[in-house]
A and B are shown apart, each in its own frame.
Chain A
Amino acid sequence: NAGVTQTPKFQVLKTGQSMTLQCAQDMNHNSMYWYRQDPGMGLRLIYYSASEGTTDKGEVPNGYNVSRLNKREFSLRLESAAPSQTSVYFCASSDGTANSPLHFGNGTRLTVT
């Protein structure tokens, strides 16, 4: 049981390059989330998907797009990376109810130069 798997673990991009962060969960969860975490700070929600086929903006969506490919997979795309997007990105999933906890992946550390 792998839980939430994120790829890649590390990535370095040049300003203006694009990339897609992949996330997959094997817990049959309805909801999936993308967060970013900057040094010494809590997590900020980028986008979330309450169920397959739906996506919604979170707190900091600018510069990102998402795709809920199927129930298992939720990808995050940076179309034109900027240094301000240097961060650690975490994907999470849950049943989607208030009393069901989030399960996180181990993150993707992204550096944009």
Chain B
Amino acid sequence: LAKTTQPISMDSYEGQEVNITCSHNNIATNDYITWYQQFPSQGPRFIIQGYKTKVTNEVASLFIPADRKSSTLSLPRVSLSDTAVYYCLVVSDSNYQLIWGAGTKLIIKP
């Protein structure tokens, strides 16, 4: 199972673009990269998932370089409501046990 490493915390300001990078050096060929968001007193919520290159949805983009040993979650024009903990996970195609790290606590300031 691939272990992920991401910053413990980040600060930014409303209206800015925020990029959170995650490293997963021992990712396997069939593994997917997934990001979740968690607010206090709630369960994590799926944000985005990708395998390679770039994926974009209505809330975020995910950039994955060719070697797939890292990935970057990009949140465009953040607001105060984006203050949360963000988890990067690698999901194995053969074993669905997810290894959750401590996540990145993102604080958005006015």
What is the bound-complex CA distance between A85 and B93, given in angstroms? 31
Q: Are A101 and B97 in contact (CB under 8 A)?
A: no
Number of A residues near B (Cβ < 8 Å) is: 27
Interface positions of B from 84 to 110, Cβ below 8 Å from A: 87, 91-93, 96-98, 100-103
Chain A: interface secondary structure? loop
Q: Tell me if B81 counts as interface (CB < 8 A to partner A).
A: no
Q: Which residues of B contact A104 (CB under 8 A)?
A: 42-45
CB < 8 Å neighbour of B87 from A42, A48, A90:
A42
Complex CA distance for A41 and B87, rounded to whole angstroms: 11
Interface size on B, residues (CB 8 A): 24
Contact with B along A39-69 (1 / 0, CB 8 A): 0111111001010000000110000000000
- Residue of B45, B49, B100 near A43 (CB, 8 A) is B100
Question: Which chain A residues numbered 16 to 54 have a C-beta less than 8 Å away from chain B?
Answer: 31, 35, 40-45, 48, 50
Q: How far is the CB of B41 from chain A (nearest CB, A)?
A: 7
Measured CB to CB, the closest approach of chain A to B1, in angstroms, equals 10
Closest Cβ of chain B: how far from A54's Cβ, in Å?
13
Residues in B neighbouring A2, C-beta threshold 8 A: none
Output the least CB separation between A15 and chain B (Å).
Answer: 25
Interface pair A42/B96, CB less than 8 Å apart: no
